[in-house]
Amino acid sequence: MNRGTPHFVGRDPQLEQLHQEFEQTDQLAICAIAGMGGVGKTELALQYALKNQDNYPGGLCWFQVRGLDLGTQVVNFARTKLGLTIPEELEFNQQVEYCWGHWPEGTAL
């Protein structure tokens, strides 16, 4: 994973807000970071992940939201990185659900 900028300052309130969003559930948490191009959305997400990686013993997963469909990325990741054997007879949406349902133990980000 990219190590980010070494001097990331001035975004503590946003980092805390992200932390609060992710702490609201024991299940899957999704949080969108919105803003104009170039304001540091990706860097904010990266810095949160780096700062909090010890809180996620299940690992960190980084998916791109542009281009390839998120569900496709989840299925591909589960097959190649987690070694899940996803039943081919399932519809695509069911394959994505299967991945979430069979994700390894441990909180993941």
Q: Give the pTM.
A: 0.69
Q: Is there a contact between 4 and 45 (Cβ–Cβ < 8 Å)?
A: no
Give CA–CA dist 21/85, Å, rounded: 31
Domain limits of the chain?
A: 1-55, 66-109
What are 56-79's pLDDT values in tens digits?
A: 877 777 777 777 788 999 999 999
Which residues, at least 6 apart from 104, have a Cβ–Cβ distance to it below 8 Å? 58, 82
Q: Which residue has the higher pLDDT, 2 or 44?
A: 44
